[in-house]
Amino acid sequence: MTRIRLPVTMFGKTVLTIAVALVLFQLFTTLVIAYYLLIPVARRSATDLADFMLLSSQVWVSLPSSERAGFEAALYEDTGLTLSPAEDALPGETAYLPYALLLDEALAKHTRHPTQIRVERKDGTDIYRVDFHAGGHRLRFGFPGQRINIHAPLAIFLILLSGTVLTLLTTLILVRRWTQPLSQLTAAADRIGRAGAPEPLPEIGPCELANLVRTFNRMVYQVETLLANHSILIAGIAHDLRTPIARMRLALEVLPPSADPELAERLLRGLDNMSRLVDQSLEFGRGAAHEPSQEVDVAETIEELAEEARREGADVRVHADAGCAATVSPMALRRILANLVENAVRFSAGRRIDIACARDGARMTISVADRGPGIPVDELEAVFEPFYRVDKSRSSVTGGSGLGLAIARQLADSHRWSLTLASREGGGLVASLTLRPR
């Protein structure tokens, strides 16, 4: 059974609420008008027509036979009613028009005899006829349907319908004017951190919405200023650290032969790690560079990274579907995949690494699966935080600086991609990067 899906947006919910309330109001209005206006007026009209028929029949009975034909002609010309002696059974079928039922009720009350109004279709016109007794004569009255088929219900229905349509159109326009700034606000908020700072939104609309947009514009400016200052601070720190690192490296290279070579080697490795940490910190502080997108052969990029890993002695297998190409930022894609492959090589301990590329409609998923020690389930999301490491010893032998995955996630988020980690069945880890069309 198909469930009715109700609207979830503010625009849809508001329009639906007003539409339901308006329909209920129109139904109530229709019932009130019908009960207190249409039915009483129709009943009064039917009673008047019944009285007129009885009066006409009494006049007809009182006239000499020679004058009755003239009276019948005058009655038809003035009122549209036909009057004649009933010499056969009523033709047609029982009339169930509400007005005909009311007229039948009024005639029966006046004549104290049961009557029946019947209708016959003749030459495209409904002809209503009724027989009753007057002065010992059985008389038959007839009249066309136009006489009683008044269009008051139709007129009221059209009035209510036009009012409903006009109200709904007005509601649509007003609600759209109220919700459009909110939609623009949502889209602008979604662009923050992904495609640079959005342009200031127009501060229009009701006072409350204008104030909200004004506050949002001010917040965007403050966030951009904060990020710019953050990048400048990181760049300054990195620059200041590079100079003493370079001096220490130079000092180690000119050590006399009598110096301990093992100590010098350890110091050089430490300086290399410090230099790498400074570079990664600077890269993380700068955030994602918004390079233009272009058509990239993803399968070729994966194969290049796999070949680099093989040269380091890793066992890497590539499984790529046909048509693994996408319009993406090439440097961002390569940096993310390089980090994932590097982590897999580091922790797989020589076991096989599987890299796969699969397309599902407009989406493309690239997975890097290893047979390393894996990551506890409760830490699969935490490892994307800057400087977070599963190995609490902070050793450079068992892990990196803790910035690689943070940078990869930042790049993925900036391009509206999805980067996730999951435990691999049979042991190990699967890193999945899903590319979505922008």
Alpha helices in 254-316 (DSSP H): 261-286, 298-311
Residue 356 contacts residue 366 (beta carbons within 8 Å): yes
Give the pLDDT mean for 299-328. 89
Q: Which CB contacts under 8 angstroms, 24+ apart, belong to 18-26?
A: 18/167, 18/168, 18/171, 18/175, 19/168, 19/171, 22/164, 22/167, 22/168, 23/164, 26/160, 26/163, 26/164
* pLDDT score for 316: 92
pLDDT at 394 over 50: no
pLDDT at 381 over 80: yes
Among 357, 342, 359, 352, which Cα is nearest to 404's? Answer: 342
Residue 413 contacts residue 399 (beta carbons within 8 Å): no
What is 68-127 written as a DSSP string? HHHHHHHHHHHHS-EEEE--SPPPSEE---HHHHHHHHHHHHHHSS---EEEEEETTEEE
**Using CA atoms, how far apart are residues 77 and 71, in angstroms rounded to an integer?**
10
**Using CA atoms, how far apart are residues 302 and 297, in angstroms rounded to an integer?**
9
Highest mean pLDDT among 126-130, 156-160, 429-433: 429-433
pLDDT at 322 over 70: yes
Q: In which band, very low, low, confident or very high, does the pLDDT at 117 lie, cut at 50, 70 and 90?
A: confident
* pLDDT score for 434: 93
* pLDDT score for 70: 92
Least confident interval from 3-7, 23-27, 127-131, 358-362: 3-7
pLDDT at 144 over 50: yes
* pLDDT score for 393: 41
Average pLDDT, the chain: 82
Q: In which band, very low, low, confident or very high, does the pLDDT at 21 lie, cut at 50, 70 and 90?
A: confident
- CA neighbours within 13 Å on the CB side: how many for 170? 8
Residue 326 contacts residue 293 (beta carbons within 8 Å): no
* pLDDT score for 315: 92
Among 308, 293, 237, 295, which Cα is nearest to 414's? Answer: 293
CATH of the structural domain 10-153, one choice from 3.30.450.300, 3.40.50.300, 3.40.50.12590, 3.90.960.10: 3.30.450.300
- Read off the pLDDT of residues 177-220 as tens digits, 9 standing for 90 and up: 777 888 888 888 777 755 566 788 888 777 888 888 889 889 88
pLDDT at 164 over 70: yes
Dihedral of CA 59/61/62/67: which sign?
positive
Q: In which band, very low, low, confident or very high, does the pLDDT at 301 lie, cut at 50, 70 and 90?
A: very high
| Measured CA distances, 349 to 273, 312, 343, 346 (Å) | 21, 12, 11, 7
* pLDDT score for 149: 63
| Measured CA distances, 164 to 19, 170, 222, 418 (Å) | 9, 10, 47, 46
Please, what's the b/e burial string for 216-246 (b: 16 or more CB within 10 A of its CB; e: otherwise)? bbeebeeeeeebeeeeeebeeebeebeeeee
What is 362-425 written as a DSSP string? TEEEEEEEE-S----GGGTTGGGSTT--SSTT--TTT---S-HHHHHHHHHHHTT-EEEEEEPT
pLDDT at 402 over 50: yes
Domain layout of the chain by residue ranges: 10-153, 207-286, 294-435
Task: Locate 267 and state its tokens.
Answer: 């110091």
pLDDT greater at residue 180 or residue 6: 180
pLDDT at 396 over 70: no
Q: In which band, very low, low, confident or very high, does the pLDDT at 284 lie, cut at 50, 70 and 90?
A: low
* pLDDT score for 275: 78
Q: In which band, very low, low, confident or very high, does the pLDDT at 290 lie, cut at 50, 70 and 90?
A: low
Q: In which band, very low, low, confident or very high, does the pLDDT at 145 lie, cut at 50, 70 and 90?
A: confident
Least confident interval from 53-57, 176-180, 232-236, 431-435: 232-236
pLDDT at 155 over 80: no
* pLDDT score for 397: 47
CATH, range 207-286: 1.10.287.130
Least confident interval from 186-200, 354-368, 376-390: 186-200
pLDDT at 287 over 60: no
Task: Locate 317 and state its tokens.
Answer: 């297998």
pLDDT greater at residue 66 or residue 194: 66
| Measured CA distances, 4 to 1, 7, 240, 410 (Å) | 10, 10, 63, 39
pLDDT at 296 over 80: yes
3-state SS, residue 151? coil
Least confident interval from 28-32, 62-66, 116-120, 282-286: 282-286
Give the pLDDT mean for 376-389. 85
Give the pLDDT mean for 281-308. 77
Residue 367 contacts residue 430 (beta carbons within 8 Å): yes
What is the fold of 294-435? Heat Shock Protein 90 (3.30.565)
**Using CA atoms, how far apart are residues 97 and 148, in angstroms rounded to an integer?**
9
* pLDDT score for 281: 63
Burial class of residue 428, CB neighbours in 10 A (0-12, 13-18, 19+): buried
